[in-house]
């Protein structure tokens, strides 16, 4: 048990790293040089707010038990039952923290759909409301033993979501698409080139996400009640299951990277570094729900399908004229659906999940459960995100001024610029020093 506990400390820190800084780097590199700081701040800010909200009422609303879900079968759990982690023992704090990092990255993922144009204040208002109305209820229904989980478990199979295909990726993907629709396009979308300003940051971000994902997927192991009582059974499940999830997470990601590169080589003539980084993320997204449900070949199939399909899907936004800026829909919604639904076909009783899918003679039962879990998330979050987005739009408003957006949201929202590359005429030069000494409180403005 102590080995498992130590592992959870590491896994939790790994998942923290996925938001701060991995996702911020991944998204930051893809945005334009005038808005990279704002893009990164959306991840950092989301993490800070999500953490506070999570310990105050998020855990209570989503799980409501002492270190685990309360399995009450309710569609929504009370945010006040365990407000401020009342009733959670200190020894179980790490399980709360592990889930906290998931809530944070899920809401941070949405920010990619609305890059370069949203007021920081509106984003920081959106984060806690969305978590409260969308994330915690879905988590309760899928992981916390809420209504959906209990309904689907009544059949011969149950919905499998090992680490968050529905709760994290479909959830963030559909929310991102709706926000992009309601908030609207960036000035110059489909007219001006909006290419990534620094793909080395994106490559580093994708690599760190992959590394952190071992905490995310492998750390999501849940022990069978019988195994918790017996040390031999316990370590049997621990070693056997983490071996499978670690393996599946690795090879699915490799297959997805290759799938994406092959698809874009066919569609556009070149295999790109952005394609490799995107393929990595698409594969990780798709193997997230399925890493405990499939075997080796299943993992390769999940990855390859996700990589190829997501590579084709990211082009759709131009046909739909939807400015999902960094492809939250194309990667997370599509990848999340691929992973969640493929379980219905590729799930095998030889994997830890223990359910046979359609291709392994299990019939349609598993596919039905997976489809219902995906639909539940799509409908719930689709409706409530629309309500939240419209409410913010008609009260405090979402967007910065058009002029501020064109000149760069970094300076408008943060009073900073990310890069200062002109060595002799930069803020270190004489004019900067002069400005600092004469109008000290406003000296940042002189550096713009």
Partner 1 sequence: MKLVTAVIKPHKWEDVREALETFGVTGMTVSEVSGYGRQKGHTEVYRGAEYDIALVPKIRIEIVVDDEDTEDIVGIITKTAQTGRIGDGKVWVSPIETVVRVRTGDKDSAAL
Name which of 265 and 414 has its Cβ closer to partner 1: 265
| Residue indicated by tokens 């408003």 | 397
Nearest-approach distance from CB 312 to partner 1, in angstroms: 8
Minimum distance from residue 432 beta carbon to partner 1 (Å): 23
Tokens representing residue 195 in the block: 């290419």
User: From CA 437, how far away is CA 441, in angstroms rounded?
Assistant: 9
Query: What number of chain residues touch partner 1 (CB under 8 A)?
Result: 18
Residue closer to partner 1 by CB (options 74, 273) is 273
Does 269 help bind partner 1 (rule: CB under 8 A)? yes
Q: Does 319 bind partner 1 (CB under 8 A)?
A: no
Which parts of 390-409 interact with partner 1 (CB under 8 A)? none
Q: How far is the CB of 273 from partner 1 (least distance, A)?
A: 10
Q: What backbone torsions phi and psi does residue 142 show, to the nearest 5 degrees?
A: -95, -45
Q: State the Cα–Cα distance between residues 275 and 257, nearest whole angstrom.
A: 8
Under 8 Å between Cβ of 330 and 285 = no
- Nearest in space to 123 (alpha carbons), one of 413, 415, 416, 417: 413
Provide CB contacts within 8 A for 406, sequence distance 6+. Answer: 187, 188
Which of 337, 396, 355, 20 minimizes the C-alpha distance to 209? 20
Residue count of the chain = 448
Kindly tell me which of 155 and 315 has the beta carbon lying closer to partner 1. 315
> 261: which 2 tokens?
């590169």
User: Min. distance of Cβ 283 from partner 1 in angstroms?
Assistant: 16
Give 114 or 400: the residue with its C-beta nearer to partner 1: 114
Question: Residue 323, interface with partner 1 (CB under 8 A)?
Answer: no
By CB under 8 A, tell whether 315 contacts partner 1: yes
Residue 264 binds partner 1 (CB under 8 A):
yes
Q: Which is nearer to partner 1, 180 or 300 (CB)?
A: 180
Q: Within 10 Å of residue 30's Cβ, how many Cβ atoms?
A: 26
Which of these ranges, 69-77, 145-153, 251-259, 264-272, lies near partner 1 under the rule CB under 8 A? 264-272
- Nearer to partner 1 by C-beta: 90 or 319? 319
Question: Does 356 help bind partner 1 (rule: CB under 8 A)?
Answer: no
Q: Report in angstroms how near the CB of residue 212 gets to partner 1 at its nearest.
A: 22
195 binds partner 1 (CB under 8 A): yes
User: Residue 56: is it exposed, middle or buried by C-beta count within 10 angstroms (0-12/13-18/19+)?
Assistant: middle
For residues 349 and 355, give the distance between their C-alpha atoms in angstroms, rounded to a whole number.
4
C-alpha torsion angle, residues 40, 42, 46, 48 (rounded to 10): 60
How far, in Å, CA of 148 to CA of 430, rounded?
Answer: 65
Count Cβ atoms below 10 Å from residue 289 Cβ, excluding itself.
36
> Which region among 144-152, 157-165, 220-228, 262-270 touches partner 1 (by CB under 8 A)?
262-270
Q: Is 267 in the site for partner 1 (CB under 8 A)?
A: yes
Closer CB to partner 1, 140 or 169, in the complex: 169
314 binds partner 1 (CB under 8 A): yes
Token couple for 122: 């509106």
89, 193, 225, 441: which one binds partner 1 (CB under 8 A)? 193
* Range in contact with partner 1 (rule: CB under 8 A) among 247-255, 310-318, 334-342, 434-442: 310-318
Closer of 51 and 272 to partner 1 (Cβ): 272
The dihedral over CA atoms of 215, 385, 381, 35, expressed in degrees to the nearest 10, equals: -30
Choose, by CB under 8 A, the member of 90, 154, 191, 270 that binds partner 1. 270
Give the C-alpha separation, 442 to 251, whole Å: 53
Comparing CB distances to partner 1, the nearer of 273 and 371 is: 273
Residue range at the interface with partner 1 (CB under 8 A); choices 87-95, 239-247, 263-271, 391-399: 263-271
Q: What are the two backbone dihedrals, phi and then psi, of residue 188, each rounded to the nearest 5 degrees?
A: 90, 10
d(CA 2, CA 273): 41
Instruction: Rule CB under 8 A: say whether 311 interacts with partner 1.
Output: yes
Mask of contacts with partner 1, 107-146, x by CB under 8 A? ----------------------------------------
Q: Yes or no: say if 77 and 65 are a contact pair by the CB < 8 Å rule.
A: no
The distance of closest approach from Cβ of residue 196 to partner 1 in the complex, given in angstroms and rounded to an integer, is 6
Exposed, middle or buried, 190 (CB in 10 Å: 0-12/13-18/19+)? exposed
321 forms part of the interface with partner 1 (CB under 8 A): no
- The contact set with partner 1 (CB under 8 A) reads 193, 195-196, 264, 267-270, 272, 274-275, 278, 311, 314-315, 318, 327, 330
């Amino acid at each position: 048990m102590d080995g498992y506990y130590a592992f959870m400390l590491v896994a939790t820190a790994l998942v923290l790293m996925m938001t701060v800084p991995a996702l911020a780097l991944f998204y930051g590199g893809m945005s334009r040089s005038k808005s990279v700081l704002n893009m990164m701040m959306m991840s950092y800010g989301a993490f800070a707010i999500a953490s506070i909200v999570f310990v105050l009422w998020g855990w209570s609303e989503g799980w409501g038990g002492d270190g685990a879900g309360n399995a009450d079968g309710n569609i929504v759990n009370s945010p006040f039952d365990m407000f401020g982690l009342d009733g959670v023992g200190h020894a179980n704090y790490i399980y709360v923290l592990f889930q906290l990092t998931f809530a944070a990255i899920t809401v941070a993922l949405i920010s990619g759909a609305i890059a370069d144009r949203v007021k920081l204040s509106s984003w920081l208002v959106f984060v806690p409301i969305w978590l409260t109305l969308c994330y915690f209820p879905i988590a309760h229904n899928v992981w916390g033993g809420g209504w959906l989980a209990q309904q689907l478990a009544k059949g011969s199979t149950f919905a499998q979501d090992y680490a968050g295909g529905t709760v994290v990726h479909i959830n963030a993907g559909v929310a991102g698409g709706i926000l992009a629709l309601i908030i609207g396009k960036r000035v110059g979308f489909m007219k001006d080139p909006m290419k990534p300003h620094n793909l080395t940051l994106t490559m580093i971000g994708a690599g760190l996400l992959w590394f952190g994902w071992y905490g995310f997927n492998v750390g999501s192991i849940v022990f069978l009640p019988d195994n918790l009582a017996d040390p031999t059974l316990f370590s049997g499940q621990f070693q056997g299951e983490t071996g499978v999830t670690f393996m599946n997470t690795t090879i699915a990601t490799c297959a997805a990277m290759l799938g994406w590169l092959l698809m874009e080589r066919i569609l556009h003539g070149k295999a790109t570094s952005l394609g490799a980084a995107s393929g990595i993320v698409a594969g990780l997204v798709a193997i997230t729900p399925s890493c405990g449900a499939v075997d080796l070949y299943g993992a390769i199939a999940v990855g390859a399908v996700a990589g190829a399909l997501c590579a084709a899907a990211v082009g759709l936004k131009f046909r739909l004229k939807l400015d999902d800026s960094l492809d939250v829909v194309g990667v997370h919604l599509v990848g999340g659906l691929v992973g969640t639904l493929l379980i219905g076909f590729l799930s095998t009783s030889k994997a830890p999940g223990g359910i046979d899918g359609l291709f392994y003679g299990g019939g349609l039962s598993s596919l039905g459960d997976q489809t219902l879990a995906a639909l539940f998330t799509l409908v719930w979050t689709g409706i409530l995100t629309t309500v939240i987005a419209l409410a913010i739009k008609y009260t405090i408003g979402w967007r910065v001024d058009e002029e501020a957006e064109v000149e760069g949201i970094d300076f408008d929202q943060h009073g900073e610029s990310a890069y200062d590359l002109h060595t002799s005429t930069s803020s270190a030069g004489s004019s900067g020093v002069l400005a600092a000494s004469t109008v000290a409180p406003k000296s940042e403005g002189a550096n713009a």
